[in-house]
Amino acid sequence: MTDQALQVSGLRKTFKGFTLNDVSFSLPKGYVMGLVGPNGAGKTTIIKLIMNLIAPEAGEIKILGLDNRKQGVEARARIGFVYDVMPFYADVSLRDTKRAIAPFYPKWNDALFQELASSFDLPLEKKVKRLSQGMRTKFALALALSHDAELLVLDEPTTGLDPVFRRELLHGLSGLLQDEGKSVLFSTHITSDLERVADYVTFIRNGSILLTETREVLREVWGVVRGEEASVAILDSKLWRGFRRYPHGMDILTSDASAARRALGDGVVVERASFEDIVVLLDGGEVHHA
């Protein structure tokens, strides 16, 4: 029995003009990981690799201890998935789509599906093409949550959702984890989503992982040094993890706020780093050493 819901190690995949390079991270059971990065960073590629929709050139993925290529069927039976654009048949009703998909899952719970469909206001008789993007995501979520999946893999699940439902969804995900010990990997570029639910944050840019860390460490240990360039740039570059220059100053992201405070003294502001700070500053400068 493994205590890891997901283990990704040494993953490599090359496309024309893009390489996913030596990607490794792991998600313990019962936690939520936010996979964050700009468009084209490789988030969807990682999710496709996890779901075995594409094959890696190197590396290994274990889902709940199962090799996702050799034991793919057993692994996928325990995954609930939501893609950014759900590949449903547009001219088929939600009810028929559910009828076609449900038999694949041994633990399908139809009563739970009906309950979720009702709470999401899903019009089951309507065809998929009559639904908005948000409603399609809700339908995909209802399917993903109705077969007792132990790992939820969600690719941009909050895109296209209205703010009210987005918040409900994120609360729902947290509740699900507290009640049932499920794990969630979700990709997003909305940092406020991370603040709400992510226990772990993995930041990816240009196909490489720049950071994979717990929320506690990011909140307690990381910081942002703000000030005029002349006064903040004297900080030992070993403490820098990213930076951005502005017309009247500079922000430096550091993975050791205490050390930065000690080094710079009281004259310089070292703030706690928000997730948005981390994402923006990691994406801004070129300093990413661990």
Partner 1 sequence: MLKVMMKDLIMNRNALVANLFIMAAVLVFICSWEEGAPVGTYAFFSGIMMAFVPIMIVTREDKFKAMALGCSLPVTRETIVRSRYLLSTGFAVMGILLAFVLAALVPSSRLSATELFRPETFLRALSVTTILIALLLPFTLRFGALGLILVMAAFQVLGIVALTMVKLTRSSADKAFVDSIVQAVGNLYTRLGSVGFDLLLAALLAAVLLASYGLSVWIFRRREL
Residue 75 CB, shortest distance to partner 1, in Å, is 8
Residue whose CB is less far from partner 1, 54 or 234 = 54
Residues near partner 1, by CB under 8 A: 48, 51-55, 72-77, 81, 83, 85-92, 96-97, 99-101, 103-105
CB of 154 to partner 1, least distance (A): 13
What's the half-sphere exposure (Cβ side, CA atoms, 13 Å) at 280?
16
Cβ-based nearer residue to partner 1, 108 or 174: 108
Q: Which two tokens stand for residue 254?
A: 């550091």
38-44, Cβ contacts within 8 angstroms, sequence gap of 24 or more: 38/189, 38/205, 38/283, 39/189, 41/204, 41/205, 41/206, 41/207, 42/18, 42/204, 42/206, 42/207, 42/208, 43/155, 43/156, 43/187, 43/204, 44/84, 44/155, 44/156, 44/187
Residues 108, 143: Cα–Cα separation, whole Å? 9
- Complex with partner 1: residue 57 or 216, whichever CB lies closer: 57
Residue 90 Cβ vs partner 1, minimum distance, rounded to whole Å: 6
Q: Is 133 helix (H, G, I), strand (E, B) or coil?
A: helix
Which residue matches tokens 């502005």? 246
Paired strand residues for 254: 223, 240
CB of 71 to partner 1, least distance (A): 10
Least distance from C-beta 52 to partner 1, angstroms?
7
**Torsion of Cα atoms, 134 then 136 then 139 then 143, to 10°:** -120
Between 50 and 281, name the residue whose CB sits nearer to partner 1: 50
Q: Of 88 and 243, which has the nearer Cβ to partner 1?
A: 88
Residue 72 vs 160, nearer CB to partner 1: 72
Please report how close the Cβ of residue 61 comes to partner 1 at its closest, in angstroms.
14
